[in-house]
Amino acid sequence: MLFKLYTEKDVRKLVARLKEEYEGALSKHREAEEGLKEENRTLRARVLELENERSGAFAAFQSAERERENAKKEVAAMAENDRKELVLLKNKCRLMLDGMRRKYPDSEDTAALSAFLDELNGSLGTDGSAADGTDGFDGEESGFRLEDVTSPKGPLDLKKLCLDLGLTEDDNEG
Residue 45 pLDDT level (bands cut at 50, 70, 90): very high
In a domain, 172, yes or no: no
Predicted pLDDT at 108: 72
Residue 165: pLDDT over 50: yes
In a domain, 174, yes or no: no
d(C-alpha 48, C-alpha 141), whole Å: 53
How confident is the model over 62-71, as a mean pLDDT? 90
Residue 75 sits in which domain range?
9-164
Predicted pLDDT at 172: 67
C-beta atoms surrounding 21 within 10 Å: 10
Q: Is 123 in contact with 79 (CB distance < 8 Å)? A: no
How confident is the model over 12-24, as a mean pLDDT? 94
What is the helix, strand, coil percentage profile of the chain, to 5? 75, 0, 25
d(C-alpha 142, C-alpha 130), whole Å: 15
d(C-alpha 92, C-alpha 135), whole Å: 12
Predicted pLDDT at 136: 44
> What is the domain count for the chain?
1
In a domain, 1, yes or no: no
In a domain, 109, yes or no: yes
In a domain, 75, yes or no: yes
pTM metric for this prediction: 0.40
In a domain, 2, yes or no: no
In a domain, 128, yes or no: yes
Which of these ranges, 74-78, 165-169, 170-174, has the smallest mean pLDDT?
A: 170-174
Predicted pLDDT at 90: 80
Predicted pLDDT at 55: 86
Q: What is the pLDDT of residues 92-141, one digit of tens each?
A: 878 877 887 787 777 676 777 777 778 777 777 655 444 444 444 444 44
> What's the one-letter identity of residue 156?
L
